[in-house]
Amino acid sequence: MRPPEDLEKWYQSGLDLIAQNKVAVVLMAGGQGTRLGSSAPKGCFNIDLPSNKSLFQIQAERIRKVQELAAAKAGASTPAVVPWYVMTSGPTRGPTQEFFEKNSYFGLDKANVVIFEQGVLPCISNEGKILLESKGRVAVAPDGNGGLYQALVVSNVLSDMGSRGIEHIHAYCVDNCLVKVADPVFIGFSAAKNVDIATKVVRKRAANESVGLILQKNGKPDVVEYSEIDAATAEAEDPRQKGLLKFRAANIVNHYYSARFLESIPQWAHKLPHHVARKKIPAADLSSGETVKPEKPNGIKLEQFVFDVFPMLPLDKFACLEVKREEEFSPLKNARGTGEDDPDTSKADIMAQGKRWVEAAGATVTGEKASDGIEVSPLISY
């Protein structure tokens, strides 16, 4: 547990860097809300807050507020600028662009919101042949969140960052409604440590929680997927802290990068491994030309993971910051009614946070149920 003065020091230095226009945000927003019963980009999803704000709007307003806080600290008459780079996939690019335009970029300057697209990789049959979507078109799929690195180069995002003088980058996934976008504490912490990558983690809820773990492997920082860990290892207790799991640092895909590291992408992007995902892939029947929708997995999609770059770093260039789950991590993964990581839990977590905030400010909260909460706009409090 870090003393409060460390957190305050990082917060203030992070605000200074934001005020100097040296901080950018990269949002990984390639996913559709398929499991949520929607074909729209997941960022468009409304979790039924009283305000009916989408995930995109919540995050945009957090950027607006942190820009305002940084400018106020610096005594600047003009707002600080935190450019927002939104990575989409082929299916979500158009709808995302339309959603931002329809909503006037949620009050952000259009010039500081850059929407770009991740790459694709061919789909392969179980026999190792490339599948066709139609007789003249190869079946492709997005290249995973690890496609971020190549996309930053190909889409000229890195050069745009360079022209703006960006030195520190915060990257995260769209489905976390509690994400502190461009978090000054995280930026200040990472800059103070002079690392090339830092990651936020939360403690595992239970030994069997389906999350990847940040750990040291062969002397390097790494992420091990939950499926790779046996029960005995997952349940092992920390010998130094009774009652805590030995391996408890859950990966929440919430990362910091130094600009100097991202500038080296062309030197190592080709070394990232490809992971196999066996899927049901619609493909053309070569004799009839008709598209066949299989009932069981008929091929593989190849994808890269954003954390596969971690082992390329020496330990002294990597850092972890443990944060409170109830304050910073509530992912939207499942359909309503599942009771875990669904729209209802996302809404409840935001409302509970708002209740804690107003009570900390001296207010008394009453409602029909003890669990009733309050939505606090990001434009009021970051």
The predicted structure's pLDDT at residue 371: 79
Helix (H, G, I), strand (E, B) or coil at 132: strand
Percentage of residues of the chain with pLDDT beyond 90: 80
Gyration radius from the chain CA atoms? 22
CB 292, CB 281: distance < 8 Å: no
pLDDT at 285: 84
CA distance 143 to 174: 17
Say whether pLDDT at 370 is over 80: no
Q: Where are the domains of the chain?
A: 4-360
Percent of the chain with pLDDT over 70: 99
Mean residue pLDDT of the chain comes to 94
pLDDT band at 77 (very low <50, low <70, confident <90, very high): confident
pLDDT(1) > 70: no
Q: What mean pLDDT do residues 179-194 have?
A: 99
Cα angle, residue 167 at apex, residues 162 and 170 outer, rounded to 5°: 110
Vertex 187: Cα angle to 333 and 304 (nearest 5): 45
| Most confident segment among 53-62, 120-129, 218-227 | 53-62
pLDDT band at 200 (very low <50, low <70, confident <90, very high): very high
Please answer whether residues 79 and 182 qualify as being in contact, where contact means their C-beta atoms are separated by less than 8 angstroms.
Answer: no
**Which pTM does this prediction carry?**
0.94
Query: Could you read off the pLDDT of 10-41 as tens digits, one per residue?
Result: 999 999 999 999 999 999 998 887 778 788 99
In terms of residues, how long is the chain?
382
Which of the pair, 283 or 65, is modelled with greater confidence?
65
Residue 288 confidence (pLDDT): 82
Q: Which residue has the higher pLDDT, 295 or 196?
A: 196
* Ranges 61-70, 128-137, 282-291: which has the least confidence: 282-291
Contact 252, 209 (CB under 8 A): no
How would residue 2 be classed by pLDDT, with cut points 50, 70 and 90?
low
As a whole number, mean pLDDT of residues 368-376 equals 88
Task: Judge: domain 4-360, CATH 3.90.550.10.
Answer: yes
